[in-house]
Amino acid sequence: MRESWTDDRLDYLNHRVDDGFKRVDEQFKRVDEQFAQVDKQFEQVDKRFDRFEEHIFDRLDRDARRADERFNELDRRMSRVESGFDRMDQNFAELNRVMVKFAYGVIGTMFAGFMAVLATTL
């Protein structure tokens, strides 16, 4: 036989449904609180990453400036080396001209001496 729904049974069912929804609402409230805690933790992590990122970029900038200074100093040193080589090239060119003139002088003197010897023997 089929039971009929009386007002008492409907009130009891209504009360149980309300209790079930209250439990679900409480569980959602706890989940929302946990998400709020997670959000706070993520905010702290974000702040730490921001500080770390700022530190890293400051250090990279500082290291890049030091590298630039060192390269500039290397450029200055290389310029001095290049100017030294330029002076050496000039000195070797002058030495070459002097040696050529000396060789012409020696050859000319030897030729004059040979001509003098030849003239005296004839």
Name the DSSP letter for residue 2.
Answer: P
CA dist., res. 114 & res. 96, Å (int): 26
What is the overall mean pLDDT for the chain? 91
Judging by beta carbons within 10 Å of its beta carbon (0-12, 13-18, 19+), is residue 91 exposed, middle or buried?
A: exposed
Q: With cut-offs at 50, 70 and 90, classify the pLDDT of residue 2.
A: low
Q: Which residues make Cβ contacts (< 8 Å) with residue 117, sequence separation at least 6?
A: none
CA dist., res. 52 & res. 2, Å (int): 72
What is the domain partition of the chain in residue ranges? Answer: 1-86
Q: With cut-offs at 50, 70 and 90, classify the pLDDT of residue 9.
A: confident
pLDDT tens column, 82-111: 999 999 999 999 999 999 999 999 999 999
CA dist., res. 109 & res. 84, Å (int): 37
- The helix (H) or strand (E) run that includes residue 33 is helix 7-121
